[in-house]
Structures are given as C-alpha cells and as structure tokens.
Amino acid sequence: MASTVDYDKYLKDWLKDPENAAAFLNSVIGDENHEFFLLALRNVAKAWGSISLLADLSNTNRVTLYKALSKRGNPDFKKVSELLDNMGLRLTVEPVATP
C-alpha cells in the first residue's frame, strides 16, 4: 500500500525552509492577481509558526493580521515588508531580462 502525505502538512514543512519560502513567494509575486501573493504569504506565515507571535513581532493585533492575510485582505507595503522581515525574508527588485 502506497503511503500518502497530507498536502497541507507537506507544504507547511517545505515552507519552513527560508529558501523554499522565498522561491514560493517569488513564483507568484509577478502575477497580476495580488490574491495569489497574499495566499502564498499566508501559507508562509502559517508555516513560519504562530500567527500570534508574528503579530506580536510586527506590532500588530492578531485579528488584524488574520484579516490582512485573509482572502479579502489588502495589507499595505509597510505591513508586508514587516511580516517578511520578521520571517527572515525580504522583497527585492530585479531587472526584467530584455530580448
């Protein structure tokens, strides 16, 4: 009998590695639909550990953080930067390759 792995558990474990988390976020950051980035950020935040601890580190109310990372959330650039910083990540800008 083949063993199976729960997808959510696998993703959470995989995203605990900062290199994987960065690659995951970078894979969706250029998408025109910002909801994909927020979903990816929410998954990374959950994998990082306690949302409550992340809220404390970001000087944000836990409920406010949950709302910001919800499907209908719309966190500002400062909040996204703070969250990434507290998870040991950062946004970068790079030139687009020209033909």
**Domain map (residue ranges) of the chain:** 8-86
Question: What global pTM score does this model have?
Answer: 0.81
Is residue 1 scored above 90 in pLDDT?
Answer: no
pLDDT digits (tens, 9 = 90+) for 2-51: 567 788 899 999 999 999 999 999 999 877 788 888 899 999 998 988 88
pLDDT of residue 50: 81
**Beta-carbon contacts of residue 27 (< 8 Å; ≥ 6 apart):** 40
What gap in Å lies between CA 99 and CA 80, rounded to an integer?
A: 32
pLDDT, tens only, 65-87: 888 888 888 888 888 898 999 99
Question: What is the predicted pLDDT for the residue at 32?
Answer: 78
